[in-house]
Structure 1
Amino acid sequence: MAHPLEGTPDGHQAPQLGAAVSRFRATYRALTDEKKSLHDAIKAKAVEMEALFDLVKPGRYRSLGLTALEEAVMWTVKELTS
């Protein structure tokens, strides 16, 4: 698989062949129904985790946990949609 930042589009970028290759996607590729469902499930589980975290007294460690959850969801969704 070609690396998208080396100037050669990979399979996911095929519909955008005319667009310049950039690490900052100006457009998003269409997701399959299966990937949309997975995206929604990841976000729903994150909401469940956030609700559990909110049961813990406020403090620095809870805040760090929420930040880590946000980061985990962000990177996972980025991989799913890349």
Structure 2
Amino acid sequence: MSDIDATKAAKLQAETDLLAARVRHLYEGDPDGRQAGDIKPSRFRPQYRALSDEEKALHDQIKAKAAELETLFEQARDLRYPPVDLRDFSGITAADVQAGGIEFLEGAAFVGATLGTDYFSEGMKALELSVMWTVKGLTA
């Protein structure tokens, strides 16, 4: 290993150790300035209350289930509207474009159900909102 590689490895290890310490600090109940004093509930939460172990576990379960649903939602979209290679539009007709439009997402094209409604984006938005509000309620 060259001196440059060793230096990069040492720097990466130091950054990893620092991140691990921050995560321990955040999740293992060590309060910081945002958790000091008398915590009053607020819409914008300038301060946070420490969560109990049960609340932390439930928070993590909610986020894990949300990730599972996100994957299922993406599978449903891909099943209904398979990705089309951007370099090959031979399978798409003018009628497809007029009927559903083309949505470009992460280097692939998707033919939508209707030009005015993207059901899958709406479903994902609803999932994000429901998880956000539920977690906010749990942690308020």
Q: Report the TM-score, using the length of structure 2 for normalisation.
A: 0.43
Tell me which protein shows more strand as a share of its residues.
2
Structure 1 runs not aligned, ≥5 long = 1-14
Please list every run of at least 4 consecutive aligned residues from structure 1 whose deviation after the TM superposition is greater than 4 angstroms. 19-22
1:37: which partner in 2?
57
Q: Any gaps of 5 or more consecutive residues in structure 2? A: 1-35, 78-109, 113-117
Q: Which has the larger radius of gyration?
A: 2
Pick from 68, 79, 93 the counterpart of residue 48 of structure 1. Answer: 68
Judged with a 3 Å threshold, the aligned counterparts in structure 2 of structure 1 residues 20 and 37 are, in CA distance, closer, same or farther, namely closer
2-side partners of 1:54 and 1:70: how far apart? 14
How much is the aligned-residue C-alpha RMSD, in angstroms?
Answer: 2.1
For these two proteins, the number of residue pairs brought into alignment is: 67
Name the structure, 1 or 2, with higher relative contact order (CA <8 Å, separation 6+): 1
2 CA distance for matches of 1:20 and 1:32? 17
Aligned sequence identity (%): 57
Report the CA distance between 1:21 and its aligned residue. Answer: 7.0
Give the Å deviation of 1:22: 4.3
Cα distance between partner residues in 2 of 1:53 and 1:70: 12
Question: 1:34 & 1:66 partners in 2: Cα distance?
Answer: 27
